[in-house]
Every structure is written in C-alpha cells, then in structure tokens.
Amino acid sequence: MDIPTTDGLNGRVAIVTGAGAADDGIGNGRAAAILLAASGARVFCVDRKIELAERTATMIESAGYTALAYEADVTEPANCEAMVEAVLSAWGRLDVLDNNVGIGSRGNVVEEDYQRWRRVMAVNVDSMFLASKAAIPAMRATGGGAIINVSSISALRPRGLTTYSTSKSAVIGLTRAMAVDHGGEGIRVNCVAPGPVYTPMVYGRGMSDEARARRVSASLLNIEGTGWDIGHAVRFLASDHARYITGQVLVVDGGTTLRGPDRDSR
C-alpha cells in the first residue's frame, strides 16, 4: 500500500499581501506568513506600510525561517508587477499567492458614500485581480501554484455592511472564475471566508468587552476565532494536502453562519 505523504511547503515561494499587523499582533496575513514559513516556504511579506511587513519578516526569521519584507500598494498595477518581479529576482519562482488585503465599511446603499464604495472595491477586489494577474504567469512558468483569496462570511450572510458584503461576494466570484480559467495550468484557486476573528484590525477599533462576548457567543463552539485560525486554513489550501481542491470557499467561523434562533424561543 502506498500511503500519500507530503513534505509540506519545502522549496516553495509564497507572497502574502497584507502581511503586516500593528505591533506584535497576529492578524490573518501575519499568521498565514508565519505558518507558511514554518512549513518550509520562503515568504515574501508584502504590506503598504513597510515597517509592518518588516516586523512580520523579523518574527519569521527569528524563528529560524526565511522571509523578506516588501512595500507595495496592491491596488496599483505597477506595484503588483514590481512585487512579482522582486520575488522572482530574490528566489527565482513563485508558487503561492495569499491575497489577504481588505478593509471594511458599514451602511446601506443610501448611506454609503460613492468614493468610499470605490475605495472598498479597489482594496478588496481590484487588489486580488491585479496581484493574481501579475502572479499567474510566474506560476505558469514553473508548472502551477496555489492562490488563496480571503473573503468573509459577510458575503454569505449580509448584515448591514452592504459595500463590504458586495466586495467579498465579488472575491468569491473571482475565485471560482480563476479556478476554471487556470486549472488546466496546474493553478488551484480557493477562498477562505473568515467569521468574526479577533485580530489587530478589530481590537484596534476599541471593541468593548460586551461586543467581544457577543461575537464569541455567535459561534456554535462558543470560542473566539483568531488570525491563527485563518492562517491554518491558508496553509492547508496552499499545500499538497489540498491538491484536489480548487474553486472552493472554506468557511472558518466556528459555525457562526449556521446560528439561528434557539428552538425554545420559537
């Protein structure tokens, strides 16, 4: 009997966009970068703020793994092209792209400002289109790769965040379309949809203890999600363990999207 084995991500090269986080906090991108590196990948930590990317790279290197920091605004086509050129110059290949950049917005279509709508779409959708557009030829040159796009359960269960929900729904559509377009080239494209995870982006806004407790109670498991949970999902989808998975949405939410009224309250 031949038992399938994997050597993790040894020898692979990964780009993680939005790899920074405030101070030493563990956001989704930083967690993914650290876990990919711990599995043997060389990780290109990309952020619009170079000091945040550098901190992530330093955390990885201090643990004995390999990383480089890179500054880029991935809503700009030239920045995405330069990012891929830089990783190829450094390490000669590209195998994994974690499209992790995103911002939020609240309100309905009447309340939303058009310029804010455009900015959310640029950051949450255009960035993934542009980074993938630059990365796919490099992956194609070495026989394939894996792209992981970060969406949100707000795409699956809208809740008063209309612009954000729309952008994250577009991420799912982009994921599925790219999976169809590039599967024949050995490029897998999948999506992670986080639920309410406690990250620097969240607690940096000054979330109250009561609001935090409500988020925990929304989980069927009554536990709090963190950036590590999202990072583990990204690492799985990037690895050979997911070699037969493409075009899928992996929901990481502790069962939050299944939560409905208690039976006794009906």
The pLDDT tens digits for 41-81 are 999 999 999 999 999 999 999 999 999 999 999 999 999 99
DSSP-derived secondary structure letter, 40:
T
What's the CA gap between 164 and 179, in Å, rounded? 23
Catalytic-labelled residue, pool 164, 198, 203, 244: 164
The mean per-residue pLDDT over the stretch 1-5 comes to: 69
Inter-CA distances, 247 with 16, 85, 97, 143, 237, Å = 19, 27, 15, 18, 11
Interstrand relation of 13-17 and 96-99 (parallel, antiparallel or unpaired) = parallel
What's the CA gap between 229 and 111, in Å, rounded? 33
The pLDDT tens digits for 225-256 are 999 999 999 999 999 999 999 999 999 999 99
- 65 counts as catalytic: no
The two structure tokens encoding residue 63: 């643990």
Closest CA to 106 of 96, 116, 95: 116
Average pLDDT, the chain: 93
The pLDDT tens digits for 127-138 are 999 999 999 999
The secondary structure of 156-175 as a DSSP string is TS--SBHHHHHHHHHHHHHH
Closest CA to 106 of 149, 45, 167, 57: 167
The two structure tokens encoding residue 205: 């806004």
**Domains assigned to the chain:** 13-253 (3.40.50.720)
Find the distance separating the first CA and the last CA of the chain, reported in whole Å.
53
